[in-house]
Amino acid sequence: MYNRRGHKKVLAIVLAGGEGKRLMPLTADRAKPAVPFGGNYRLIDFALSNVVNSGFLKVVVLTQYKSHSLDRHVSRTWRMSQMLGNYVTNVPAQQRIGKEWYRGSADAIYQSMNLIRDEDPDIVVVVGADHVYRMDFSQMVAQHVDTGAACTVAAIRQPRSMADQFGVIDVEPSNPAKIREFLEKPTDPEGLPDSPEEILASMGNYVFTKDALVAALESDNARDDTKHDMGGDIVPAFVDAGDAYVYDFRDNVVPGETERDHGYWRDVGTMDSYYDAHMELVSLNPVFNLYNMEWPIFTQMESLPPAKFVTGMASRAAKVTNSTVCPGVVVSGAEVSTSVLSPRVKLNSYSTVEGSVLFDDVVVHRNATVHKAVLDKGVDVPEGAMVGVDKEHDRARGYYVTDSGITVVGKGVQIVH
Ligand code: ADQ
């Protein structure tokens, strides 16, 4: 498969082995990229949709941590026609080299080197699987080819207060800019000259010239003083060699986007940011437009009956405002506002759901209330029960409550009064 621009053969590698500790309990038994998002998506669907929409149809997904539901999702959803030699293959950690599982993200790629050798691409695009955004990677590849760099790092401005979550980039004043320094998750870096409270952050998406990547992974593997991490070790090595450029995400133009959603990128790595991204989605005029069909976000479409809204027996009419509702949902005499209802959610008479994200198969029984909460798959809220209304009571019942007061209940929990 040749890239539309530059006529280079491209292999895409999606790093999907992250644990997502800060998304507990949602990551108790699924990898972070498998965490549901927006009702019927999984986080990894955004990265994979971007890769495929960019025209890169040879895709390897590297998984590791609790990868069962992720592997199932990828193989079911992302089955591709083999006719043109295209594929999305998930590769679980195989302990192929030695006894260890992947040590870090660079080691994950190193241990899958046979896939790179078999495919023999000119260019390797490496992307994370944890973010919500649209991006045309072919534009980044085009810049990579133009500069002749060995490594190109996608970058976006972020608040300086969040620097310790990102690779922070200092650039030379050229255009495209060469990277002068790359610090992985520094505590108190300087802000940008034109905006002291912002830093230039790595998005965790990289383009490499294949031979340079292979050489860097081999030399990293031979060393003991590295964490075998893409952001922590491999990218800094390219920067030290004076061979890394930045790709400014502001330059990326995606078909169908508007001025408003241009440049949208959300790291949903904490429960609060995950919740906020959902509330943005159901807001009156969301920044991120799921309905942009010129750059569709693909997912698995299960055969389900349409969502249904009814007046329950001796009840009131169902009322749903500013919410997204997936197939298979039944809202019977319940009131729902600013919420996301995933497939097969059932809401019964006189129940109220407000400011909440309900995963697949959640059932809310009569007169129950769910407020500012994220309920994982299959949570059952019995008649008259309340979740998220009294945060102290939530904590006392063992439910997780975030600093900003969002209650999170793990998979399959039967709520108690
Ligand atoms: P983090 O996201 O903190 O920072 P990491 O935990 O390595 O870095 O995750 C990066 C990606 O690799 C994720 O998609 C994760 O799922 C995956 N991953 C992690 N370990 C893996 C393994 N052993 N096998 C396979 N996949 C693995 C990174 C960069 C920063 C950058 C931020 C942007 O290191 O420089 O700023 O992403 O969010």
Q: Is 202 annotated as a binding residue?
A: yes
Distance 209 CA to ligand 1 centre (A): 20
**Residue 235 Cα: closest atom of ligand 1:** 35
The answer to whether 375 touches 358, Cβ cutoff 8 Å, is yes
Instruction: Measure the CA–CA gap between 303 and 300, rounded to whole angstroms.
Output: 10
Q: What is the pLDDT of residues 153-198, one digit of tens each?
A: 999 999 999 999 999 999 998 888 999 999 999 999 999 999 999 9
Specify the residue with its C-alpha closest to ligand 1, atom 13.
128
Q: Which of these, 394, 386, 362, 364, lies nearest to 375 by C-alpha position? A: 362
Predicted local confidence at residue 83, as pLDDT: 60
Predicted local confidence at residue 93, as pLDDT: 72
Q: How many CB atoms lie within 10 A of CB 14?
A: 25
Homologous superfamily (CATH) for 10-281? Spore Coat Polysaccharide Biosynthesis Protein SpsA; Chain A (3.90.550.10)
DSSP, res 307: P
**Across the strands, what pairs with 353?**
336, 370
- 203-208 average pLDDT score: 98
- 332-338 average pLDDT score: 97
For residue 345, what are the CA distances in angstroms to 36, 211, 329, 365? 14, 49, 5, 11
For residue 237, what are the CA distances in angstroms to 119, 148, 336? 25, 17, 52
Predicted local confidence at residue 6, as pLDDT: 53
Distance 47 CA to ligand 1 centre (A): 13
Q: In what order do the strands lie in the sheet with 335-337?
A: 319-321, 335-337, 352-354, 369-371, 386-387
Specify the residue with its C-alpha closest to ligand 1, atom 35.
167
**Residue 63 Cα: closest atom of ligand 1:** 25
Q: Mean pLDDT of all residues in the chain?
A: 92
Question: Helices in 92-171 by DSSP H: which ranges?
Answer: 105-110, 113-119, 137-147
Q: What are 127's two structure tokens?
A: 């992307």
**Residue 108 Cα: closest atom of ligand 1:** 24
Q: How many CB atoms lie within 10 A of CB 74?
A: 27
| Element of type H or E holding 381 | strand 380-381
- 289-301 average pLDDT score: 91
Q: What are 355's two structure tokens?
A: 């400011």
Instruction: Measure the CA–CA gap between 164 and 186, rounded to whole angstroms.
Output: 5
Mutate to test the pocket of ligand 1, among 13, 14, 15, 202 (most ligand atoms within 8 A of CB): 15
Predicted local confidence at residue 103, as pLDDT: 78
Q: What is the pLDDT of residues 248-272, one digit of tens each?
A: 999 999 999 999 999 999 999 899 9
Q: Which residues line ligand 1 (CB under 6 A)?
A: 15-18, 32-33, 62, 64, 102, 104-105, 108, 128-130, 166-167, 184, 201-204, 229-231, 267
Pinpoint the residues of the chain covered by CATH 2.160.10.10. Answer: 308-409
Distance 18 CA to ligand 1 centre (A): 6
Distance 78 CA to ligand 1 centre (A): 22
Mutate to test the pocket of ligand 1, among 105, 158, 183, 268 (most ligand atoms within 8 A of CB): 105
Residue 85 has pLDDT above 80, yes or no: no
Q: What is the pLDDT of residues 95-118, one digit of tens each?
A: 555 555 667 899 999 988 999 999
Predicted local confidence at residue 53, as pLDDT: 95
Q: What is the pLDDT of residues 346-368, one digit of tens each?
A: 999 999 999 999 999 999 999 99
Q: Is 105 annotated as a binding residue?
A: no
Q: Is 167 annotated as a binding residue?
A: yes
Q: Is 102 annotated as a binding residue?
A: yes
Residue 2 has pLDDT above 60, yes or no: no
Residue 382 has pLDDT above 80, yes or no: yes
Specify the residue with its C-alpha closest to ligand 1, atom 34.
231
Return phi, psi of residue 33, to 5°: -65, -15
Residue 123 has pLDDT above 90, yes or no: yes
Distance 164 CA to ligand 1 centre (A): 14
Residues 6+ apart with CB under 8 A from 52: 59, 88, 298
**Residue 14 Cα: closest atom of ligand 1:** 14
Q: How many CB atoms lie within 10 A of CB 249?
A: 21
Cis peptide leading into 25, omega within 30 of 0?
A: yes
**Residue 182 Cα: closest atom of ligand 1:** 35
Q: Is 18 annotated as a binding residue?
A: no
Return phi, psi of residue 222, to 5°: -80, -10
Predicted local confidence at residue 3, as pLDDT: 45
Residues 6+ apart with CB under 8 A from 76: 300
Predicted local confidence at residue 29, as pLDDT: 86
Distance 346 CA to ligand 1 centre (A): 36
Instruction: Measure the CA–CA gap between 413 and 417, rounded to whole angstroms.
Output: 13
Least confident residue range of 109-113, 305-309, 319-323 = 109-113
CATH topology of domain 308-409: UDP N-Acetylglucosamine Acyltransferase; domain 1 (2.160.10)
Distance 189 CA to ligand 1 centre (A): 20
Predicted local confidence at residue 71, as pLDDT: 85
Predicted local confidence at residue 282, as pLDDT: 95
Residue holding tokens 């965790």? 204
**Residue 267 Cα: closest atom of ligand 1:** 38
**Residue 107 Cα: closest atom of ligand 1:** 23
Residue 66 has pLDDT above 80, yes or no: no
